[in-house]
Amino acid sequence: MQIVRLLVDHDCPFSRPVATAPGARVTHLCHRGNEAVLELHADDPDAVSALGSAYRRIGGELLYEAPDRSAALVQFPRCACCQSGKVIPTLEEAGDLYLPPSTYAADGENYQFLAREERLDPHLLDRLPDGVTVLRVGTKPLTSVAFEGGFLVPVGVLFRELTSRQRQALLAGILRGYYRIPRTVHTEELARSFGISRPAFEALLRKAENKLAAALFPYLAIPGAATVDADSAPDRAP
């Protein structure tokens, strides 16, 4: 068995609005062509509002919009992408299992499937309707079974508490080797690149790490592992 990842270009009612909104992302969950929910994200709040308006004009219902307008949920009674592009139905008819969610961005639509065969059927993608262009195909063998303990952690949950400066500090630490073993950079050098003192940079980095740890805490429980008392759970970073 193998995991198949597809990036396709398709002029779909769901992907059309995000195709002209660079930096916006839409996560798509559907129930086999029936009810569909789109999760909208963009760094620009106006872009999220514009996407929401575009989807409402084609029959979507706004279920939720974040107070800072960084994200929104829109629901449809039918999945327009399944009805037109038919990427999910086509591959499932061939015996592959759709692994949600799919995502839309300016570069195309991303899908993931669990395929039974060790090699991808070379004629499988030819069954997709006209108008669906496959931009990229990636496969990897299924080497372990871990679906039982798997879960999806919303990226927004992990990062929503971080300030822009805290994100930059984490990214600089990762890219320049602060988290490698052994380290290839020290906080004094990172602090200089930020134009601040070493103690100030270390405090910035520590706050970012604390916020990530606090956001991950609810997802770290493993069935059968020792439970943690509420009193010993980490406090959220200020």
pLDDT category of residue 227 using cuts at 50, 70 and 90: very low
Q: For the chain, how many structural domains are there in total? A: 2
Output 84 or 41, whichever has higher pLDDT.
Answer: 41
Domain contains 149: no
In the predicted structure, residue 218 carries a pLDDT above the cut 70:
no
In a domain, 238, yes or no: no
Confidence label for 220 from pLDDT (cuts 50, 70 and 90): low
The pLDDT score that the predictor gives to residue 235 is: 47
Flag whether 104 is in a domain. yes
Is 125 in the same domain as 192?
no
| Alpha carbon distance 159, 211 (integer Å) | 8
Q: List the one residue out of 132, 50, 41 whose CA is nearest residue 85.
A: 132
Clarify whether residues 36 and 122 are in a common domain: yes
Same domain, 111 and 198: no
pLDDT at 100 over 70: yes
Q: What is the pLDDT of residue 206?
A: 94
Q: 60 and 116 share a domain?
A: yes
Comparing CA positions, the residue from 34, 10, 36, 30 lying closest to residue 104 is: 10
Q: What is the pTM of this model?
A: 0.59
Domain contains 51:
yes
Residue at which a domain ends, from 91, 118, 141: 141
Whether residue 150 lies inside any domain: the answer is no
Is residue 19 one of the residues assigned to a domain?
Answer: yes
131-172 pLDDT per residue, tens:
888 888 888 877 766 555 555 555 555 666 788 888 889 888
Q: Establish if 146 belongs to a structural domain.
A: no
Alpha-carbon span 165 to 167, nearest angstrom: 5
- For the ranges 76-90, 116-130, 145-159, 168-182, which has the lowest average pLDDT? 145-159
Domain that holds residue 189: 155-232
Instruction: Assess whether 80 and 104 both reside in one domain.
Output: yes
Q: How far, in Å, are 85, 104, 110 from residue 3 at the CA level?
A: 21, 19, 13
Same domain? 127 vs 65: yes
Quote the tokens at residue 99.
């692994």
Domain boundary, last residue among 97, 114, 141:
141
In a domain, 102, yes or no: yes
Residues 202 and 88 in one domain: no
Is the pLDDT confidence value at 14 over 50?
A: yes
CATH number of the domain bearing residue 204: 1.10.10
Residue range 62-84: mean pLDDT, rounded:
83
Q: What is the pLDDT of residue 87?
A: 82
Q: What's the confidence (pLDDT) of residue 178? A: 92
Per-residue pLDDT, 21: 83
Task: Determine the pLDDT at residue 54.
Answer: 92
Tokens representing residue 11 in the block? 């002029």
**Could you say which of 74, 107, 141 is where a domain stops?**
141
